[in-house]
Amino acid sequence: SAKRSRTKRVARFEPEMLITNMERAQLEKDLLNAIANNEIKPFYQPLVDLETGEISGFEALARWNRKGHGFVPPTEFIRIAEEIGVITELSDHLLRVACLDAQKWPDTVSLSFNISPLQLSDPHLGLRILKLLNEVDFPPHRLELEITETALINELDTATEIIYQMHQLGIRISLDDFGTGYSNLSQLSHLDFNKIKIDRSFIDSFQTDEKRMTIVKSMLALGSSLGMETTAEGVETSNQLAALIELGCSRGQGYYLGTPASSEETLKLLETPHSRGFTANA
Ligand code: C2E
Ligand code: MG
Ligand code: MG
Ligand code: MG
């Protein structure tokens, strides 16, 4: 029974657990080294204005190519960085590099940057970001911070304060993965978001699932009535793009519109004429 095996586990040598612990210890060690050696870099995925077809900004997405293992999913190493207490260091490094990269883009192109749930409990987050932006001389109005709905609900008080501070600095805030958490819509109305990002799980199926279509429509209506821009995440087909334009969604992001790319490739994309986004009404 479950009870018996639980009692056993205390005394018994479990080789699988030992391997797991060793692997985990090695992973932590590699992660610390990678952070120290600047091996974790942001890639950039276009955010496209669905009215004009132009790239309006890029979202920075952390990439770690772990020696001998290949790319580690950011959700995994971000969580470990939180657990071993190095998320601030990692995030500061990524934001610094992203600002330096974004300075080479046209200054109308914005930079979106993800803030991890744990960072939202840091009351000094606002000051840290301000200091960093000053150091690299990056204009706050070009920066947009993405906060997930779930992180927000767990840290509502600190998050409210941080959002307030960010607005004072001219930094915009988007609500990431909207629809996956359980936020109370009246809570949302108290928070000053500039943008909501509809989670890709809705975009994935809204054309074939009537209920999801209704939800997407009401998220778009909510966004426009609160004066917020709405971005659809995970746009993978021309069909989805056409439907979103039809529904009046303001922004899109997804493999169909552009995949995450290195800083060098991103610069090339921006410098190539007619390669920006898609051709509106084509
Ligand atoms: P997110 O902020 O919601 O980012 C969007 C994710 O969707 C990215 O995954 C992106 O590569 C992926 N994606 C974009 N277009 C499509 C599409 O058309 N189809 C599909 N299936 N996926 C698409 P990625 O890069 O693996 O990042 C996963 C999550 O990890 C991010 O979700 C974000 O929450 C977190 N993350 C990534 N970079 C950072 C970072 O620098 N800091 C923090 N705190 N979190 C990060
Ligand atoms: Mg995001
Ligand atoms: Mg998202
Ligand atoms: Mg996500």
* Residue 215: φ, ψ to 5°: -65, -45
Residue 233 CA to ligand 3 center (angstroms) comes to 6
**Ordered mean pLDDT values, 10 residues apiece, the chain (282 residues):** 46 65 92 96 97 96 96 96 96 98 97 94 91 97 93 84 91 92 70 90 94 94 90 97 96 97 97 65 46
Residue 174 CA to ligand 4 center (angstroms) comes to 13
Query: Exposed/middle/buried for 275, CB within 10 Å: 0-12, 13-18, 19+?
Result: exposed
Q: What's residue 181's pLDDT? A: 79
Q: What's residue 260's pLDDT? A: 98
Nearest protein Cα to ligand 1, atom 22? 234
Residue 1 CA to ligand 1 center (angstroms) comes to 40
Ligand 1 atom at minimum distance from 253 CA: 15
Q: What's residue 240's pLDDT? A: 97
Q: What's residue 12's pLDDT? A: 63
**Around Cβ 171, how many Cβ atoms within 10 Å?**
23
Residue 5 CA to ligand 1 center (angstroms) comes to 38
Q: What's residue 59's pLDDT? A: 98
Using a 6 Å cutoff on CB, does residue 61 contact ligand 1?
yes
Q: What's residue 106's pLDDT? A: 96
Nearest protein Cα to ligand 1, atom 27? 74
Q: What's residue 282's pLDDT? A: 43
Q: What's residue 8's pLDDT? A: 44
Q: What's residue 25's pLDDT? A: 93
Nearest protein Cα to ligand 1, atom 37? 61
Which of 61, 118, 121 has most ligand 1 atoms within 8 Å of CB, for mutation? 61
Residue pLDDT, tens place only, 52-92: 999 999 999 999 999 999 999 999 999 999 999 999 999 99
Using a 6 Å cutoff on CB, does residue 254 contact ligand 1?
yes
Residue type at 150 in one-letter notation: T
Q: What's residue 192's pLDDT? A: 80
Q: What's residue 113's pLDDT? A: 98
Residue 270 CA to ligand 4 center (angstroms) comes to 25
Q: What's residue 276's pLDDT? A: 52
Using a 6 Å cutoff on CB, does residue 176 contact ligand 1?
yes
Q: What's residue 6's pLDDT? A: 47
ipTM score of the complex? 0.98
Using a 6 Å cutoff on CB, does residue 231 contact ligand 1?
no
Q: What's residue 85's pLDDT? A: 96
Q: What's residue 280's pLDDT? A: 53
Residue 58 CA to ligand 4 center (angstroms) comes to 15
Using a 6 Å cutoff on CB, does residue 204 contact ligand 1?
no
Q: What's residue 2's pLDDT? A: 42
Using a 6 Å cutoff on CB, does residue 258 contact ligand 1?
no
Q: Indicate which ligand has the atom closest to the C-alpha of 253.
A: 1
Residue 61 CA to ligand 1 center (angstroms) comes to 6
Q: Indicate which ligand has the atom closest to the C-alpha of 78.
A: 1
Q: What's residue 15's pLDDT? A: 65
Q: What's residue 275's pLDDT? A: 56
